[in-house]
Amino acid sequence: MHFSRLFIFVSLTLLVASCANYSKFLSQERGMLTRVSRANLKSEQKLDSLLASSIRLMNTALKPVNPAKGGKMVAQYYDQNNAAMEAIVGQVNSEFVKMNLLDQGVFTANFIRKPYAREFADLYPKFKKKYSQVQAAAKFIGFFGKAFGKLGKLAEMIG
């Protein structure tokens, strides 16, 4: 009986710590993406920040054994950051459309060579496979496929 109480206590302690860590993680990502979306940065830097944040989310969400728990976190991330993500992608699309074909090619080639793009390309299929059946994560999964507009080809190349 004593062992089972100890086990329950340790389990609850780990659960509370895990929830606190997820809350802190979500808060940090929300703050960073909000600052980046409002900052006067090059669109390439903003896109780098968006991908870095998305990679951190996917890495964190791939850790839990229970996809429902990870899906809830992904949904919170998306709901909290959707406006900032849309603003970043909107700026990138706007600048990309203004580029001539050669500059678009250079932008795309430079982007594909970045470590974030490669890491995103490696993680996204794993993440999508794990969370494709979790309704809570559907908005995040669908974001990258449709949000890039003309950059959709870029998203296809990396994921």
Q: In this structure, what are the phi and psi dihedrals at residue 138, rounded to the nearest 5 degrees?
A: -60, -40
According to the model, what pLDDT value does residue 75 have?
92
According to the model, what pLDDT value does residue 132 have?
82
Position of tokens 């909290």? 80
Q: Please tell me the distance from the alpha carbon of residue 152 to that of residue 148, in angstroms, as a whole number.
A: 5
Residue 142, token pair as written in the block:
């669908």
- What stretches in the chain show pLDDT beneath 70? 1-20, 65, 145, 147-159
Straight-line distance from the first to the last Cα atom of the chain, in angstroms, rounded to the nearest whole number: 51
According to the model, what pLDDT value does residue 43 have?
85
Residue 15, token pair as written in the block:
């659960």
pTM > 0.85: yes or no: no
Q: Burial of 7 by CB count in 10 Å (0-12 exposed, 13-18 middle, 19+ buried)? A: exposed
pLDDT tens digits for 36-68? 999 999 988 999 999 999 999 999 998 876 888
According to the model, what pLDDT value does residue 137 have?
84
According to the model, what pLDDT value does residue 120 have?
87
The candidate with the shortest Cα–Cα distance to 130, out of 78, 73, 51, is 73
